[in-house]
Amino acid sequence: MYNSKITGMGFYVPDNIVTNDDLAKIMDTNDAWIQERTGIQERRWIPEGSEDTSAVMGAKAARIAIERSGLTKDDIDFIVFATLSPDYFFPGCGVMIQDMLDMQTIGALDVRNQCSGFLYALSTADQFIKTGMYKNILVIGAEYHSNALDKTTRGRGVGVLFGDGAGACVLSRTEDNTKGILSTHLYSQGKYADKLIVKTPSIKHWVPEILAGKEDDTSYFPYMDGQLVFKNAVVRFSEVINEGLNANNLTSKDIDLFVPHQANLRIAQFIQKRFKLNDDQVYNNIMKYGNTTAASIIIALTEAWEKGKVKDGDLVVLAAFGSGFTWASAVIRW
């Protein structure tokens, strides 16, 4: 059996910085509340008039990842794209990126697992490589949240959390089985599907309802039972990280770098404490980008790598929890 390893990574975020003080001008919130509860200081939101979308940002990140992998677009033989904010209901963004990058006729798959989306995508790509079906897979996570948030006081509990951006990596076949993705673990618990959800528009609630003009209908905006999500997140993060470590006969002492999904700095700090990791062993950037959902882990991992925090031979642990509920981990020997 083959192994898979990340050979190139890239990320793209819009230039437009939206600070907590900027939000305080449009809704009843303040910098202290947001920072104390979440650690977020600012986020990037696609500005009006920009051409950026989830697919466009994903393509920008993918170009960087492919270039850094030392491959060309013609070496890529499959695409896995994760988002909760696709450009269209259908077709998925994966095929759009194939076209934007002028790639060959290959397969493209969209993954819809929200905050765990990147890890589900990475795991899917890993399985394809391990079975020998593909050699070089482009894995992308991208989110365009800002156009679909309730930016009024009514939506402040969710609206302040999310940012736009994209990250991508190339996962390539290697015959060195001491390096690369050692394991991935994926879970979901659909009984909590309605605790973090956007209900409308959907196939269930379609054009006639939209045309009826439902300005007061909050089902068009993300809803989150924040405290339930928080409580489940800290438990599931711990479980799935432990499972990954145990599966490889490792302990938290072996972790060189832990990159959690950037949902809330307080969740990341809780996990850091639970696993007795020092600040150098954890990478967070939610302060600058907010929660970019399927993009957050690969943006953070890329940024950590760019800063020299991911070195050859390092043990890197990734973990996520979010809507679904879904959660996942990946253990990587760099």
Residues in the site for ligand COA, rule: CB under 6 A? Answer: 29, 33-34, 37-38, 115, 156-157, 160, 196, 226-227, 229-230, 233, 263-264, 267, 291, 322
Nearer to ligand COA, 227 or 278 (CB): 227
Nearer to ligand COA, 250 or 287 (CB): 287
The question of whether 261 is a catalytic residue gets the answer yes
The question of whether 291 is a catalytic residue gets the answer yes
Q: How far apart are CA 58 and CA 166, in angstroms?
A: 5
Cβ 82 vs Cβ 110: under 8 Å: yes
The tokens for 138 are 């482009």
- Residue 334, judged by CB atoms within 10 A of its CB (0-12, 13-18, 19+), counts as middle
Minimum distance, C-beta of residue 235 to ligand COA, in the bound complex (Å): 12
Out of 169, 185, 261, 284, the active site residue is: 261
The question of whether 115 is a catalytic residue gets the answer yes
Out of 115, 136, 232, 284, the active site residue is: 115
Minimum distance, C-beta of residue 162 to ligand COA, in the bound complex (Å): 8
Minimum distance, C-beta of residue 154 to ligand COA, in the bound complex (Å): 10
Out of 20, 136, 232, 291, the active site residue is: 291
Nearer to ligand COA, 60 or 156 (CB): 156
Nearer to ligand COA, 2 or 223 (CB): 223
Question: Which residue is closest to ligand COA by CB?
Answer: 226
Cβ 209 vs Cβ 242: under 8 Å: no
Q: How far apart are CA 309 and CA 285, in angstroms?
A: 13
Residues 6+ apart with CB under 8 A from 275: 238, 241, 252, 255, 258
Residues 6+ apart with CB under 8 A from 296: 115, 118, 141, 167, 261, 262, 263, 286, 289, 320
- Residue 32, judged by CB atoms within 10 A of its CB (0-12, 13-18, 19+), counts as exposed
Q: How far apart are CA 131 and CA 271, in angstroms?
A: 33
Nearer to ligand COA, 224 or 247 (CB): 224
Minimum distance, C-beta of residue 250 to ligand COA, in the bound complex (Å): 26
Minimum distance, C-beta of residue 111 to ligand COA, in the bound complex (Å): 16
Active site residues: 115, 261, 291
